[in-house]
Amino acid sequence: MPKTQSNPIEIGVKAADFALTDAHGRVHQLYDFADKPALLVAFISNRCPFVVLIREEFATFGREYAAKGLQIIAINSNDPAAHPEEALARLGEEAETHGYTFPYLKDASQDVAKAYGAACTPDFFLFDADRKLAYHGQFDDARPGNGKVVTGADLRAAVDAVISGARPASKQIPSIGCNIKWEPGNEPSWSSAA
């Protein structure tokens, strides 16, 4: 199974703005969530084995941490022409089936993935109250086939720190997953498909 590691992104960069649609036609923008003390932008997929492995625990994590003030925005940037299971309508089905209580949005132009420097699914970007990047790392150390239990330990620790006003640990292990499925000719410079 090919693996792609998340890009190194400088801690402290500001969250890029976006205006993306969910499967119900609602548009969500960065400033819609300005009152939240922490924002997690998660680039995910409906089909990547790395996301499939964590999605139940990620849904649980989302429900648990919403009560603590975390806003999650999940974004799917994969090319739906080549991968129909990544089309907008399927995002709604995925959210309902797996209990995602947070917006799951389609980045049809792939511009938002490029603005964030997203490289893989899952790819997690945790921002503090000022919308500065505080954590860009793995959910935990579970991977398909490694036998480790999915706990979300790394991301939980980072969110706990941000919500309490502290900084997450400086050692952040990159996320690993499937590469974002870029539209032909739309690959960013960092893409292995470029």
Please name the CATH architecture into which domain 4-16+35-179 falls: 3-Layer(aba) Sandwich (3.40)
CA–CA gap between residue 20 and residue 2 (Å, rounded): 29
**Residue range 116-143, pLDDT digits in tens:** 999 999 999 999 999 999 999 999 999 9
The full set of domain ranges for the chain reads: 4-16+35-179
pLDDT per residue as tens, the chain (194 positions) = 568 899 999 999 999 999 999 999 999 999 999 999 999 999 999 999 999 999 999 999 999 999 999 999 999 999 999 999 999 999 999 999 999 999 999 999 999 999 999 999 999 999 999 999 999 999 999 999 999 999 999 999 999 999 999 999 888 999 999 999 999 999 998 775 44
Provide the greatest CA pair distance for the chain.
43
pTM of the predicted structure, to 2 decimals: 0.96
On whether the CB atoms of residues 17 and 29 are closer than 8 A, the answer is yes
